[in-house]
Amino acid sequence: MPELPEVEVTRRALAPHVEGLTVRAVRVRDRRLRWPVPAQLGRLLAGRPLLRLDRRGKYLLWRFPHGTLISHLGMSGSWRLHLTAPPPPGAHDHADLEFGAGRTVRVARLTDPRRFGALLWHPRGRGDVERHALLARLGREPFDARFDGAYLYAATRGRRASIKQVLLGGDVVVGVGNIYASESLFRAGIDPRRPAHRLGRARCTRLADAIRAVLTEAIERGGSTLRDFVGADGSTGYFTLAARVYDRAGLPCLVCAAPIRRIVQGQRATYYCPRCQR
């Protein structure tokens, strides 16, 4: 499943090629994504310039003068950029956004076998897209300067759930999926079962730093796939960082050699070192 690093790498790959260009056509071949793709999307976007491609959590925000196209990759989606006319679409290539200026053509193609992704239009008249129902309750961005130990400390007071589950909830900080939660807690030396409200300030600072480090590493690893991503035959695979605890149950901890433990929290697997994480 694409996580924040994949979405951020996708954004970085697409943005320099499409920002500032005008939409020439939109081809939606299958409107049945998680929610129906607006039938009039082509009419809404044709002739309009893409001002900027932003990301909020796992949503890409395609900002136009008159509104924002919100896209999400769901369980299995990916965008691929074609710098020339793309090949005939395959069965899971549900939508093309064609940009152009003069003889320049760029086609961003959305592929999504399981169709849990989304393409939604938010007109400017309905207010700031950040207040859209899908975005309004998202936690802080991990790379926002305001995401730090002090924030994490304040945001976890009164939260009795385990710190692992609070991270996964996404309402405190976005982008910490299941793998990244285990990895961040390992690097911060925090027991994933610890109630969030019992983390002190120093641990909150360590955890905020660890989350940023883990996500940065994943994005940098993903960046190495960029060359394959842009081009007629390119595609992005999903990628992860080299995990230190995730999926390593029974194997020795890379720090202390104690066997890594696997537990289940909220029906999701958690991996941790019982000696390094307190």
Least distance between Zn ion and beta carbon 182 (Å): 13
Here the tokens at position 96 are 């093309």
Q: Does 188 bind Zn ion (CB under 5 A)?
A: no
Among 52, 227, 275, 278, the residue binding Zn ion under the rule CB under 5 A is 275
Task: Report strand pairing: 261-265 vs 104-111.
Answer: unpaired
Which helix (H) or strand (E) covers residue 81, if one does? strand 78-82
Q: How far is the CB of 273 from Zn ion (least distance, A)?
A: 3
Q: How many residues bind Zn ion (CB under 5 A)?
A: 7
In angstroms, what is the minimal distance from the CB of 220 to Zn ion? Answer: 25
Which parts of 227-266 interact with Zn ion (CB under 5 A)?
A: 253, 255-256, 258
For residue 155, give both structure tokens: 């945001």
Query: 109 or 248: whose CB is closer to Zn ion?
Result: 248
Q: Does 185 bind Zn ion (CB under 5 A)?
A: no
Distance CA 53, CA 7 (A): 11
Of 120 and 181, CB closest to Zn ion? 181
| Shortest reach from residue 85's CB to Zn ion, in Å | 54
- Are 4 and 178 spatial neighbours (Cβ–Cβ below 8 Å)? no
Contacting range for Zn ion; rule: CB under 5 A; set: 11-19, 20-28, 212-220, 267-275: 267-275
* Ramachandran category for residue 20: left, alpha or beta (phi over 0 → left; psi -120 to 50 → alpha): left
Cβ closer to Zn ion: 51 or 256?
256
Task: Let me know how long the chain is.
Answer: 278
Closest by Cα among 86, 78, 104, 96 to 17: 104
- How far out from the chain centre does Cα 138 lie? 12
Q: How far apart are CA 48 and CA 227, in angstroms?
A: 28
Contact flags string 98-117 toward Zn ion, x per CB under 5 A: --------------------
**Active-site residue list:** 2-3, 58, 268
- Residues forming contacts to Zn ion in the complex (CB under 5 A) are 253, 255-256, 258, 273, 275-276
